[in-house]
Amino acid sequence: MIIKRFITGLLETNCYLVACQETLNATLIDAGFNEAEAITVIREIGKKNLKVKYVLNTHWHPDHTAGNEYFREKLGALVIIHEDDAPMLNAGASLLGLKVKPHRPDKTVTDGDLIEIGKTCLKVIHTPGHTRGSICLLGKGVVFTGDTLFAGSIGRTDLPGGSFEEIIGSIRNKLMTLPDETLVYPGHGPFSSIGKEKRTNPFLTDIY
């Protein structure tokens, strides 16, 4: 699996380009791009000859979804989000000084769904708490955690659909049960691993 990170926008959102080495099929995970940033990604996709099938949204916040329509139009990629966050895209999200034009996803997913990317796949883990329909995406030895889990922190829960109890439950029951060596690719900030978060994340250390 090829993984390339782009850091985008004022909130420094991590957007990932994930590709299957053998087939060159690819997906974007979160697309908070403005148009100038999106052109860099399109160039990278062209250079590597990738076929981008999907734009997967870890949740509906504009810093993760502002580029959905751009990539759908340019690449014919399908926009995919958890069913509980889909209505928020359509409601025309305006948050944190960012705005997303109302749009509908092409497909919604739910816990346990598998998303094929060539010969590899990503498994949807529903992790409510940051938003109702927040998801993490589990690949081989890696998990993309959106705004649910960060290196040394967790997502905020004071925005619509947020719940502190839920996010702690999601992290504890669905992420901390993954092998310690699983790499964590969060929606903001540096990379980590499940084991490191168990040992050092101040929101989790009193649990473990």
Q: How far is the CB of 69 from Zn ion (least distance, A)?
A: 18
Instruction: Specify the residue, 37 or 63, whose C-beta has the smaller distance to Zn ion.
Output: 63
Residues 184-203 that bind Zn ion (CB under 5 A): 187
Task: List the alpha helices (DSSP H) in 95-158.
Answer: none
Cα–Cα distance measured from residue 126 to residue 113, given in angstroms and rounded to the nearest whole number: 10
Residue 85 binds to Zn ion (criterion: CB under 5 A): no
**Interacting residues of 203 by C-beta distance below 8 A, sequence separation 6+:** 153, 154, 168, 171
Select from 37, 63, 85, 197 the one that contacts Zn ion (CB under 5 A).
Answer: 63
Judge whether 79 and 106 are in contact, CB under 8 Å. yes
User: Cβ atoms within 10 A of the Cβ of 90, count?
Assistant: 12
Name which of 53 and 130 has its Cβ closer to Zn ion. Answer: 130
Q: Tell whether residue 30 is a contact of Zn ion (CB under 5 A).
A: no
Distance in Å, CB of 147 to Zn ion, minimum: 4
Residues in the chain: 208
**Residue 61 near Zn ion by CB under 5 A:** yes
SS3 content of the chain, % helix, strand, coil (to 5): 25, 35, 45
Which of 30, 147, 166, 197 forms a contact with Zn ion (CB under 5 A)?
Answer: 147
Query: Which of the stretches 20-28, 61-69, 72-80, 104-112 binds Zn ion when contact is defined by CB under 5 A?
Result: 61-69
Interacting residues toward Zn ion by CB under 5 A:
61, 63, 147, 187
